Amino acid sequence: MSRLLTPGRSTALFAAILCAACMVYYHLALFVPRALEVRAAQDLGNGYSFGADFYPIWFTAREGLHHRDPYSPEMTRQIQIGLFGRPLPASNPSAPPDSRAFANPAFAEVLIWPLALLSFPVVRIALAVILPLATAFSVVLWLRSLHLRAGPATLASTILLTLSSYAVLEGLFAEQMGLLVGFFLAAALAALVEERLFLSGGVLALTLIKPQLMLLLAVYLLLWSFAAWRSRWRFAGGFLLISAVLVTSALLIWPQWIPEWLKALHAYRQYSTPPLVCYLLGLQLGSRLGQVLIVAVLLSAVAVAWRARLVAPGSGQFALTISLLLALTAIALLPGNAVYDHVILLPGVLLIASSWRALAANRAFRAILAATALAVCWQWISAPVVVALRPFLSRQLFVSDVLTLPIRTAASIPFGIMSILGMMMWQGNRKNIPLGKK
């Protein structure tokens, strides 16, 4: 097992506490209030903002107690009233697109039905406790999955920086189910490396509540399971059994939910931002170049999965494959503005952090490693500067030029992580060495 490197335990922990505190203050005291001002100026500020991403799931689950269709236009209208204080005209482009309608699989309702029995203010408080704890524990689970060790100070620093990252803060404020999916992914992989295959497959099935986050990983793990069926069938069995239970339970309540969900997905793609690989280039998903880029990334993912179909789950190559597939997911399958879902980059960040000395010794890695490290750490570097400058700048100058400084590198992080992991895999395959081993 390799050890996650730490720069001077107590000093590093103090620095992590300071950076995390500044980032949290920046997000809650400066960034979020400005975002709420913009909502109010668009006449969208009379509904829920904190917990807005969970509200459609909670509301449709609550109405589902009466067997009401979660995908119906009337349900969408009621969701909009709860989120914005009024229904939105179909042509209104100002509202967040992922808040206009319920677009999750219907079995997400089944899983959260206990919360539907509570009022939404109570649910928001409960999730404000559950989601940070789940995210913090996912750090521990990813370390276990990747066979990385961390001392108490390193672990505390890693958890603090994870919870104070822009991606996680956005997810926590919106109470995004993606954070829960990130926890389930980490739990599934931790069970897998401990050879608890049926449990691993069953937990992975729970991530189907946001299938875009787990699709590439699930395809690889099922391929991995089928490639050595006699010893690995329990993984596929657990995944397929729990998936069947989830789908069937929803069908018993809403017999038509599958075609309606597919229709909702198609509509969502029409108004959501394109994947990150297209978004940064200003391309629409339906454009020819955009389609070519997405296909190229997906073919790369298939090639990576096929090459690693026989590797042992405790090996360095397995950890690298998992991390790379999740990075490819972030750039090819997630909406370009869904920064909160970048929590799936966590295993890649941890894997790179554990190997940075060896990587820096290679000239081919140095520049991209330095650029990626700067992109990742920029939020904690610039947040204290923004907080310190606020009293000395005019409001107009601060809002227009300074406020968004800590989040300007967020979109580039997945590309840096993907590039480093891809180079690590290429180098390991080229030299025919066991990745992640000394």
* pTM listed for this prediction: 0.92
The rounded mean pLDDT for the chain is 89
Tokens coding 410: 């967020």
pLDDT beyond 70 at 70: yes
Question: 26-69: per-residue pLDDT in tens?
Answer: 999 999 999 999 988 888 888 889 999 999 999 999 988 788 88
Question: 366-404: per-residue pLDDT in tens?
Answer: 889 999 999 999 999 999 999 999 999 889 999 888 999
In whole angstroms, how far apart are CA 366 and each of 345, 362, 409? 20, 7, 19
Tokens coding 59: 């509301």
Domain enclosing residue 202, as ranges? 2-86+103-431
Give the model's confidence band at 433: pLDDT under 50 very low, under 70 low, under 90 confident, else very high: very low
Q: Does 97 fall in a domain?
A: no
Give the model's confidence band at 438: pLDDT under 50 very low, under 70 low, under 90 confident, else very high: very low
Buried b (16+ CB within 10 A) or exposed e, 241-250: ebbeebbeeb
| pLDDT on residue 92 | 57
Lowest mean pLDDT among 110-124, 266-280, 398-412: 266-280
Helix runs in 8-119, H state only = 9-25, 32-41, 55-64, 73-84, 107-111, 113-116
Q: Does 245 fall in a domain?
A: yes
Total number of domains constituting the chain: 1
Choose between 390 and 363: higher pLDDT: 390
Question: 307-330: per-residue pLDDT in tens?
Answer: 999 999 988 899 999 999 999 999
How far is it, in rounded angstroms, from Cα 27 to Cα 163? Answer: 12
pLDDT above 90 as % of the chain: 65
Write out 152-217 in H/E/C secondary structure: HHHHHHHHHHHHCCHHHHHHHHHCCHHHHHHHHHHHHHHHHHCCCHHHHHHHHHHHHHCHHHHHHH
Find, among 140, 156, 154, the residue nearest to 8 by Cα: 154
| pLDDT on residue 96 | 54
Give the model's confidence band at 97: pLDDT under 50 very low, under 70 low, under 90 confident, else very high: low
Q: Does 95 fall in a domain?
A: no
| pLDDT on residue 151 | 87
Q: Does 98 fall in a domain?
A: no
Q: Does 91 fall in a domain?
A: no
Question: 129-152: per-residue pLDDT in tens?
Answer: 999 999 999 999 999 999 998 888
Give the model's confidence band at 431: pLDDT under 50 very low, under 70 low, under 90 confident, else very high: low
Q: Are 169 and 23 in contact (CB under 8 A)?
A: yes
Residue 296 CB neighbour total at 10 angstroms: 12
3-state secondary structure of 398: helix
| pLDDT on residue 346 | 97
Highest mean pLDDT among 197-206, 287-296, 311-320: 197-206
Find, among 409, 35, 70, the residue nearest to 258 by Cα: 70
Q: Does 436 fall in a domain?
A: no
pLDDT beyond 80 at 435: no
Q: Does 45 fall in a domain?
A: yes
| DSSP 8-state symbol, 345 | G
Q: Does 437 fall in a domain?
A: no
| Mean pLDDT to the nearest integer, 209-225 | 96
